[in-house]
Amino acid sequence: MTTSKRSERYLNKKAHPLQIGARMCFENPYDKETNPNGYINLGTAENHIVFDLMEKKLKNREKLPKYSLKYGQAFGHPDLLKATAQLYHDHLFIKDVKPEQLVFAAGCGGGALDILFNAVCDEGDSVLIPVPYYGGFTFDLFRSKVKIHPCPNFLQIVKGEVEFDPIKEGIKAVLITTPDNPQGNALTEETLTEYINWSQKYNLHIIFDEIYACSVYKPTSKFTSGMSIKCEKPELVHQAYGMSKDFAMSGWRIGVIFTRNKNVLKISKELSFYSSVSGDTQWILTDFLSDIEWRDNFIKTNKERLYHNYQLLTKIFDDHKIKHLPCDGAFFLMVDLREFLKDQSKQAELDLYNHILKETNVQILPAMQGFEHVVPGFYRICFAVDEEVLTLAGNRIAKAVESFQNLTEKKD
């Protein structure tokens, strides 16, 4: 039986080559006791280090209320909107947020971002994204039929050091991630202000993906939201957030839209009907966020454990003289393995990735393939996993890199 013409783009959608490694991890996962030869997944940005806190809270929650079994506001129950606004006020440091400015959707990417780009862009419009960027945006923006315009020198453009006319390039919006993915750096107030001012000079919408907002873990660093920056046209600034990362709930599919634009807000509420969060999930999240003492302790503990794992992994790499970039937020470290490549090419980067996967059964992500990086030899490694597993995987990676260098030297 034939399918619709509009569905053909889904049938013809090609699988990303890096999905092979991820699939191996899902089909044959490592377990110390039952499957020690399985694959360790340090490629997928999931938070495994606070499962114990989440499990304890879930066991101690009250009985499910009847309202969670009924139809309700697709964009979020009033109690949930209120509790989330309080979270934004207390931990994202957005002091003027109102519950009625928030909209819930099924996930940050395929839910919140998909809705926002359907609201502010037409089919064929381009979205500027600074390089490197999260490769999953290709899928998150797929249904809205916008084009991604990778921009490797955005900061230089904003500062006027490089000429670029976004209107001539068909740019309708800018997408910024902070803390950024894959490098794990929280953008400063100064940089955020520059980005917003430049965008507003051309009347462009700017959307901030801030899904790692509560995971800025270094004691000397602080998260600043793009939504907290004062600007002339706040109606052009929007935010996507979610509970997948900071609250280790990636499987629950919870995203949030925050906008001060009345029309975008109305459109988002309408579109949330097709991407709503289930009633029981909304109630459980309301319970989590309304328990302020538990919420604050959870966020504090998450940051402490992230920082501990960051220090653990960087020490392993420092001991093996493996370079890495500085970072202060999110779950990952970007290592610089350029000196170990046979040559400075995309294929050479992929060859080292395949060697590490084959020799170690550890999945990481090469930055050119996964994040549109313009320079080969950088790899993103996620560290929000059990300490023992991280130690094992980190040492395996270091040894595999060294063995790859010896292998290439012998071939030469």
How much of the chain exceeds pLDDT 70, in percent? 97
Residues 6+ apart with CB under 8 A from 107: 242, 244, 253, 254, 255, 275
Q: Looking at residues 285-294, what average pLDDT do you find?
A: 96
Please write the tens of the pLDDT for every residue from 82-110.
999 999 999 999 999 999 999 999 999 99
Q: What is the pLDDT of residue 89?
A: 98
Please give the class, per CATH, of domain 62-293: alpha beta
Tell me the pLDDT of the chain averaged across its residues.
93
Confidence label for 410 from pLDDT (cuts 50, 70 and 90): low
Please write the tens of the pLDDT for every residue from 343-359.
999 999 999 999 999 99
User: What are the helix (H) ranges across 49-125?
Assistant: 51-59, 78-91, 114-120
Q: What is the pLDDT of residue 411?
A: 61
Domain residue ranges of the chain, discontinuous segments joined by +: 5-52+295-401, 62-293
Q: Looking at residues 360-372, what average pLDDT do you find?
A: 94
Contact assessment for residue 272 and residue 75, using Cβ atoms and an 8 Å cutoff: yes
d(CA 363, CA 354): 9
Contact assessment for residue 362 and residue 369, using Cβ atoms and an 8 Å cutoff: no
Q: Which string of DSSP letters, residue by residue, matches 256-300?
A: EEEE--HHHHHHHHHHGGGSPPPHHHHHHHHHHHH-HHHHHHHHH
Q: What fold is seen in the domain 5-52+295-401? A: Aspartate Aminotransferase, domain 1 (3.90.1150)
User: What are the helix (H) ranges across 272-386?
Assistant: 279-290, 292-319, 346-360, 367-371
Q: What is the pLDDT of residue 20?
A: 77
Residues 6+ apart with CB under 8 A from 149: 126, 127, 128, 129, 169, 170, 171
Please write the tens of the pLDDT for every residue from 8-23.
888 877 766 667 788 8
Lowest mean pLDDT among 6-10, 42-46, 153-157, 366-370: 6-10
- Is the per-residue pLDDT at 231 higher than 80? yes
Please write the tens of the pLDDT for every residue from 164-204.
999 999 999 999 999 999 999 999 999 999 999 999 999 99
DSSP state letter for 355: H
- Is the per-residue pLDDT at 59 higher than 90? no
CA distances from 338 to 176, 349, 395 (A): 26, 8, 19
What is the reported pTM? 0.94
Q: Cα-flanking dihedrals φ and ψ of residue 30, to 5°?
A: -65, 140
Contact assessment for residue 76 and residue 268, using Cβ atoms and an 8 Å cutoff: no
Nearest 5 degrees, angle CA 334-CA 362-CA 20?
A: 95
Strands 171-177 vs 147-151: parallel, antiparallel or unpaired = unpaired
How would you list the strands of the sheet with 126-130, edge to edge? 102-105, 255-259, 237-242, 205-209, 171-177, 126-130, 147-151
Lowest mean pLDDT among 9-13, 231-235, 317-321, 338-342: 9-13
Q: What is the pLDDT of residue 408?
A: 61
CA distances from 260 to 97, 205, 375 (A): 9, 12, 38
d(CA 363, CA 381): 8
Please write the tens of the pLDDT for every residue from 128-139.
999 999 999 988
Confidence label for 409 from pLDDT (cuts 50, 70 and 90): low
Q: What is the pLDDT of residue 389?
A: 97
d(CA 136, CA 140): 6
> Cβ–Cβ contacts within 10 Å for residue 375, how many?
14
Confidence label for 1 from pLDDT (cuts 50, 70 and 90): low
What SS3 state is found at 329? strand
Q: Looking at residues 48-55, what average pLDDT do you find?
A: 95
Q: Greater confidence, 262 or 2?
A: 262
Q: What is the pLDDT of residue 284?
A: 93
- Is the per-residue pLDDT at 407 higher than 70? no
